[in-house]
Amino acid sequence: MKLTKARALILIAFSVPVAIELRTVAGFFNVELPLIAVAVIEFLFLALLFVLYGLYGEGSESAA
Partner 1 sequence: MATASGGSEFVDKFPDEAAIVKASFLIAFVSLGIGAFFGLIQALHRTNVLRVIDSADYYTVLTGHGVLLAIVFTIFFLCGVFHWAVARSLDRPAESALFSWAWVGLMTTGTVLATVAILGGFVPNLGMSADVLFTFYAPLQAHPIFYIGLAMFIVGTWLAGADWFLSYRAWRKNHEDERIPLQTFMVLTTMIMWYVSTLGVAVSVVFFLIPWSLGLIESVNPLLTRTLFWYFGHPIVYFWLMPAYLLWYTVLPKLAGGRLFSDPLARVVFLLFLLLSTPVGIHHQYLDPGIAEGFKFIAMTNTMFLLLPSLLTAFTVVASVEHGARQRGGEGYLRWLGALPWRDPAFTGMALAGAMFAAGGFSGMINAGMNINYLIHNTLWVPGHFHLTVGTAVALTMMAGSYWLVPQVTGTKLYSRPIGLLQVIMWFVGMVFMSNAMHRAGLAGIPRRTAEPQYQNFEFLTPIGSIFELRVQIALGGTLLFLSVVLFLFNILLTSLGEESDRPVDSYLPEPLSGPEGSPRVLDNLAMWTGIAAVLVVLAYTLPLAGIIQNGGGLFGGGLPVPATVSAGFDLVATTVTSAFNTLWGVVA
- State the residues that interact with partner 1 by CB under 8 A: 1, 4-7, 9-10, 12-13, 16-17, 20-21, 23-24, 27, 35
**With respect to partner 1, which residue has the nearer C-beta, 27 or 54?**
27
In whole angstroms, the minimum distance from the beta carbon of 18 to partner 1 comes to 10
**Alpha carbons 53 and 26: distance in angstroms, whole number:** 29
What residues contact 58, with CB distance under 8 A and at least 6 apart?
Answer: 2, 3, 4, 5
In whole angstroms, the minimum distance from the beta carbon of 50 to partner 1 comes to 17
Question: Would you give the distance in Å from CA 20 to the centre of its chain?
Answer: 12
